Amino acid sequence: MATYTGEKHAYLEVEKFLRDSIDNRMYSPGSLLPTEKSLCEMFGVSRMTIRQALNNLVNEKIIFRIRGKGSFVSNVMIEKPPVIQGFTDEITSMGMRPGSEMISFDRIVPSEGVRAALQLNADEMVYCFHRLRLADDAPMAVEYSYLPTKLFPNLDRFNLMENSLYGIIKHQYHVQFSFLAQQVRAVKLTRADAQRLLGTGSGFSLQVSRTLYSISNLPLEYSQTLYHPSKYSVNINIAQD
């Protein structure tokens, strides 16, 4: 008999039991789970309740089922989907200490490319940050960030050296993200950026252009991050369904 786990509903009890058992390797990848019938007896519930729990786990790809045979623990590791994060969170999750040096901070009329990416009218202005981004005090990237002034009034009052931009958008302006579109290119660095990032007069870089959208599909930020070519790479993992 399974112990009571404090879940409100029977199917959640069953789910929790199976989840924990799989985590504990009591049921290891590829192994056969108890049949629906035995789970019914274990928990004293009907078969449809057990099936709800099992189907939820199937949808999370934790288990898979074969008619006539049984339910099995998935053998492939579950990969967590990528998350929307800026430079600060990314470097932190890589186990390094992020930092910033502000190169310039202006309120400008955007270039045509930036204007299009942010879907702005001709007369609307943007904040433009130009920052050298550090990881463990070493130059990791040069970043240009553009944000519409109409969406972020008084953005200059926040301390962008201490706080992440994405954190300010989320927690100070209370705007929710929904979508991040990124484009990765190899580009030639300007003289000034090559000097800042590489310490040389010229060079190339891995450029990531990002457009961040709110839940109402409004562009919130457009940025171009020029990463140090030998210190940084973008990883993309694709699992077949």
DSSP, res 50: H
Q: Taking the complex as a whole, how short is the minimal distance between the CB of residue 42 and DNA, in angstroms?
A: 12
CB nearer a second copy, residue 29 or residue 44: 29
Q: Taking the complex as a whole, how short is the minimal distance between the CB of residue 145 and a second copy, in angstroms?
A: 18
User: Does 10 sit near DNA (CB under 7 A)?
Assistant: yes
Question: Please, are residues 128 and 106 in contact by the beta-carbon 8 Å criterion?
Answer: yes
CB nearer DNA, residue 48 or residue 102: 48
User: Does 162 sit near a second copy (CB under 8 A)?
Assistant: no
User: Does 17 sit near DNA (CB under 7 A)?
Assistant: no
Distance CA 172, CA 166 (A): 10
Out of 5, 28, 48, 150, the only residue in the binding site for DNA (CB under 7 A) is 48
Q: Which of DNA, a second copy, none does residue 67 bind (CB under 5 to 8 Å by kind)?
A: DNA
Find the largest Cα–Cα distance for the chain.
Answer: 74
CA 152 to mean position of chain CA atoms? 22
CB nearer a second copy, residue 1 or residue 236: 236
How many Cβ atoms from other residues are within 10 Å of residue 75's Cβ?
Answer: 10
What phi, psi does 167 have (nearest 5°)?
-65, -40
Nearest to 18 by CA among 66, 67, 51: 51
H-run or E-run covering 43: helix 36-43
CB nearer DNA, residue 63 or residue 226: 63
User: According to CB under 8 A, which residues from 75 to 134 bind a second copy?
Assistant: 76, 81-84
Q: Taking the complex as a whole, how short is the minimal distance between the CB of residue 239 and a second copy, in angstroms?
A: 5
Determine if residue 154 is left, alpha or beta; phi over 0 gives left, psi from -120 to 50 gives alpha, anything else beta: left
Q: Binding string to DNA for residues 18 to 47, with x set by CB under 7 A, is what?
A: ---------------x-xxx------xxxx
Nearest to 212 by CA among 162, 151, 140: 151
How many Cβ atoms from other residues are within 10 Å of residue 32's Cβ?
Answer: 12
User: Does 69 sit near DNA (CB under 7 A)?
Assistant: yes
Which residues contact a second copy by CB under 8 A? 48, 59, 76, 81-84, 176-188, 204-207, 217, 227, 229, 233-241
Which residues contact DNA by CB under 7 A? 9-12, 33, 35-37, 44-49, 51-52, 54, 65-71
